[in-house]
Amino acid sequence: MQRSRGFLGVALALAVGGMADSAMAQSEIKIGEINSYSLLPAFTEPYRKGWQLALEEVNAAGGINGKKLVVISKDDGGKPADAQTAANELTSSENVAMLTGTFLSNIGLAVSDFANQKKIFFLAAEPLTDAITWAKGNRYTFRLRPSNYMQAAMLVEEAAKLPAKRWATIAPNYEYGQSAVAVFKKLMSEKRPDIQWVEEQWPPQGKIDAGPVVQAVAAANPEAILNVTFGADLVKLVREGNTRGLFKNRSVVSFLTGEPEYLDPLKDETPEGWIVTGYPWYSIKTPEHQAFLKAYQAKYNDYPRLGSVVGYQTIKSAAAILAKANSTDPDKLIAAAEGLSVPSPFGQITFRKIDHQSTMGAFVGKTALKDGKGIMVDSVYRNGADYQPSDAEVAKLRPKE
């Protein structure tokens, strides 16, 4: 009898413990977050700070319909297979309601494919390849940042005004670089049928040998250059290009170079007059951005990078989707996200129903030197909604489901 009572006591304790775990699970909602923290800290560390600030704000305002929002973060190390492993752990062991994050386009596509197979909602934060919402798009994947198509369209608007007819391209040889060059060439050639593409250089991502790249481009004698390199590759390219005079009397159009993550390391080597997309945080005076800037600086005593905005808005958007759905069911999350408009530091953005792409835009301006540091000048915010193809065009690009 004593033994029986002991068994019942253990069973009761386990049952109560299980109920407590269940109650705890019901009092919070978990999001899985995956990114290349160890590989690309210049972008992902500010990105992490951004989402941590957003998480604090969401929970301080009552969470998700009264439930605490929890983010469980994993590092993919810049490897698609590791990202899929992380996604599997987050969904099977942590029971997250959705997946968010990723930086590199090939990793974003890998997690998107996982989300489609496992039928879990995925909000891609940063990967820019057009494939993620078009050729390889699926109903479970949404994307926050403006795509290669959108940023190319913004840059082409300015590039087409240049007198240059002979163009060369330099881009990292993986999904993002290939996608960016292809869409820029397509849109540019449509606006300017008179131009020639005289040279293409495809250095491996993160491993550029800048000397031969610069030499090959110079030998082709272009009048203008499209650059898609970023991070440490960009620093090496600029240094070698400056040394060899590659950029002298040549127009350069460059994806992402105006983002502080990539502009700041150039310091006094920053080439002037490049047409770039970027984030001039110091000259944006809208109320939405001022509020974000004040909160970010108060928490971190540092200025935001574009990664900070992306991380912040990823969690703010995820929270808005969860709150509207009032459920963690993937189908209800998709229904909530399609057509959803949310505030952001750049103003109101909407996740389009047709391709799950947000209308977040980008700033376009020119590089300049000030006090020995690179800045963006003459920058104007381009609303992403104005640089997306028509619904009819998207319908042709996206697979039928």
**Tokens 């290939």 sit at which residue?**
178
Q: How far apart, in whole angstroms, are the C-alpha atoms of residue 157 and residue 145? A: 19
**What local confidence, expressed as pLDDT, does residue 1 receive?**
44
- Residue 250 sits at φ, ψ, to 5 deg, of -125, 140
For the chain (401 residues), the mean pLDDT of every run of 10, in chain order, is 44 41 66 96 96 98 98 97 98 97 97 98 97 97 98 98 98 97 98 98 97 98 98 98 97 98 97 98 98 98 98 98 98 98 98 98 98 97 96 90 67
**What local confidence, expressed as pLDDT, does residue 399 receive?**
84
The two tokens of residue 97 are 């309601």
**Cβ 123 vs Cβ 314: under 8 Å:** yes
Q: How far apart, in whole angstroms, are the C-alpha atoms of residue 277 and residue 271? A: 15
**Cβ 76 vs Cβ 107: under 8 Å:** yes
Instruction: Kindly list the structural domains of the chain, giving each domain's residue range(s) and its CATH number in brackets, ordered by start.
Output: 11-146+285-359 (3.40.50.2300), 149-284+363-387 (3.40.50.2300)
- Residue among 246, 162, 160, 267 at smallest CA distance from 201: 246
Q: H or E segment at 370?
A: strand 362-370
- Residue 69 sits at φ, ψ, to 5 deg, of -90, 130
Rg of the Cα atoms in the chain: 23
**What local confidence, expressed as pLDDT, does residue 401 receive?**
67
- Residue 38 sits at φ, ψ, to 5 deg, of -75, -25
Pairing relation of β-strands 166-170 and 224-227? Answer: parallel
Q: How far apart, in whole angstroms, are the C-alpha atoms of residue 215 and residue 208? A: 13
Cα dihedral across residues 324, 329, 335, 338: positive or negative: positive
Task: Sort residue 69 into left (φ over 0), alpha (ψ -120 to 50) or beta.
Answer: beta
**What local confidence, expressed as pLDDT, does residue 16 receive?**
40
Q: How far apart, in whole angstroms, are the C-alpha atoms of residue 311 and residue 52? A: 8
**Cβ 168 vs Cβ 199: under 8 Å:** yes
Q: How far apart, in whole angstroms, are the C-alpha atoms of residue 38 and residue 349? A: 30
Q: What is the dihedral of CA 130, 70, 83, 94, to 10 degrees?
A: -130
Pairing relation of β-strands 98-101 and 28-35? Answer: parallel
Per-residue pLDDT reduced to its tens digit, 89-132: 999 999 999 999 999 999 999 999 999 999 999 999 999 999 99
Per-residue pLDDT reduced to its tens digit, 306-339: 999 999 999 999 999 999 999 999 999 999 999 9
**Tokens 């997306």 sit at which residue?**
388
Which CA distances in Å does 65 have to 7, 60, 330?
A: 40, 12, 17
Q: How far apart, in whole angstroms, are the C-alpha atoms of residue 302 and residue 325? A: 35
Q: How far apart, in whole angstroms, are the C-alpha atoms of residue 128 and residue 342? A: 20
